[in-house]
Amino acid sequence: MKLQQLLSYTRKAVDTYHMIEPGDKIAIGISGGKDSLTLLYALNGLRRFYPNPFEITAITVDLGFPGFSTEKIQKLCEDLDVPYKALKTDIGSIIFEERKEKNPCSLCAKMRKGSLNDFAKKIGCNKVAYGHHRDDLVETMLMSLMFEGRFYCYSPVTYLDRMDLTVIRPLLYVSEADIVGFRNKYDLPVSKNPCPADGYTKREYVKQLLLSLNRENNGVTDKMFRAILNGNIHGWPPADNAL
């Protein structure tokens, strides 16, 4: 996928769900993975021509795992002329050493997002952008069906009233395959996930299940994605269908 196509998909999501307003200061959560780095390129490119002027700051929540470094992320942000902040935490040791969580992902995600949101507010941001793509949405919906018995997926835009902060997901229309292609084409400096639970989660199980379903029935993920968009899920903002 070329940058022009990425920007087209991103603008479609931003316009359809009115994600960006004039004067927004947006914190981009950067883990060092392919999704968040692609999001960085997307919003950095979009801000150069989007009619609603906005600012971006890249933020990494360092979970404290041994061997993780923010050097490559910082260098990329310098090359793109994007302000960058790294927030050091002890979340990794709290989850795996102090609490010894058997199912660590939910608590880790909650603590990581809480730290990111708090820091974003501290530096004056009013919005936070997450790198969730189309396949993430489908996986979340399927996990909800399988493990909770309900049809649900997080919203493209979520207002956190207790924090007066809005979460946006501009990669809504971008597939994981396109992100892999973008990573390879532009040689993104992806960092390996240092989490001990990486690859051994319910999400990974559902990801592999979807891959299997698509091999047997081509287009399954696309159909599920359309079902989410047309599903009138509680909490989702109205889409601008004129676009």
Euclidean distance between CA atoms 19 and 241, whole angstroms: 15
Euclidean distance between CA atoms 26 and 136, whole angstroms: 21
pLDDT at position 223, please? 95
pLDDT at position 42, please? 98
Query: Could you give the domains of the chain?
Result: 3-229 (3.40.50.620)
pLDDT at position 242, please? 39
pLDDT at position 85, please? 95
C-alpha closest to that of 70 among 120, 34, 31, 39: 31
pLDDT digit string (tens) for the chain, length 243 residues? 999 999 999 999 999 999 999 999 999 999 999 999 999 999 999 999 999 999 999 999 988 777 788 899 999 999 999 999 999 887 877 877 777 666 777 777 888 898 999 999 999 999 999 999 999 999 999 999 999 999 999 999 999 999 999 999 999 999 999 999 999 999 999 987 776 666 567 888 999 999 999 899 889 999 999 999 999 998 899 888 634
| Amino acid identity for residue 67 in this structure | G
pLDDT at position 238, please? 87
Instruction: Say whether 237 sits in a helix, a strand or coil.
Output: coil
What's the pTM? 0.91
**Helix intervals (H) in 47-159:** 71-80, 91-93, 105-122, 134-148
pLDDT at position 125, please? 97
